[in-house]
Amino acid sequence: MSQSVTVITGGAGFLGSHLCDRFIAEGHKVIAIDNFITGNPQNIAHLFGNENFRFIKHDVTEFIYVDGKVDNILHFASPASPIDYLKLPIQTLKVGSLGTHKVLGLAKAKQAKFLIASTSEVYGDPLVHPQQENYWGNVNPIGFRGVYDEAKRFAEAMTMAYHRYHGVDTRLLRIFNTYGPRMRLDDGRALPSFVGSAIRGEAMTVYGDGSQTRSFCYVSDLVEGIWRLLNSNTNDPVNIGNPAEITILEFAKEVQALMKEMTGKEAAIEFRPLPADDPKVRQPDITRAKELLGWQPKVSRNDGLRETIKYFLANALPEKNIL
């Protein structure tokens, strides 16, 4: 049987690079596509020279050419953190719309299985809790966060249109907050922001009173869920995330305690006004993932945080490293 070929857009990003590792480990030939707008070449540097890895520097909003057969396409190209999509609003909208269209066109041409990386942000500031896949969401389309939320909602609609009209075999993944090695310290999400502030000797910033909740899934659990979803037979949306809900203030205190244990230094916590349209609650209902994929997260938050903080400390700028 010939070797499977998998294309991963956003392959140099936090999640995309971990997927490159997993698919190569599973015996696939991987073609990663990235334009480094938010991706990092260091995330995939260890793969250069691997005969089963190929990299194409390309903006997926432009026509995509890949020679030879393609069996699977995982579309992960997109700014994914608030600091990125607020800085790159047009690019975020373009990759969700034009980029998804181009990548689906490649899937149609190659008769490849297609998996779209959507997000819990399609639920907006939810009025249903926890969030099930049949919930349509509560999104402000003209708010600052709308550029990301609506890009992903459009990407889902485009994916289902290609599935229904062109018969493309699609998978629709809704990712909840994920963390782990290869996140950028400056990406603006809660964990890297807390750790980055502590490394610089600054106070960790909590927005509002910290009562808003999130559910954090370790990257290896997410990758396992993605692998199972791709190899399943469902075309319906599936939430992949860890339902262990925690307030942002509690999360900050957990990071604060681990940083003190691991570095001997304790960062203060300061409060600032809550950004517009910031979701008050976020918790996945993973019933569908359990039933259809036999999947549920395994890595505890304590273990995952330790591994991630180790990575951040080892990769912090030398002059700012507090170890």
Positions marked catalytic? 148
Give CA 215 to chain center in angstroms.
13
CA 58, 99, 177, 54 dihedral sign is negative
Q: For 5, list phi and psi in degrees, rounded to 5.
A: -115, 125
Q: Which residue has the tokens 């910290």?
A: 210
CA-wise closest residue to 17 among 35, 40, 38: 40
9 contacts 74 by C-beta, under 8 angstroms: yes
- Angle made by CA atoms 267, 268, 273, in degrees to the nearest 5: 130
- Distance (Å, whole) CA 225 – CA 165: 27
CA 153, 159, 163, 166 dihedral sign is positive
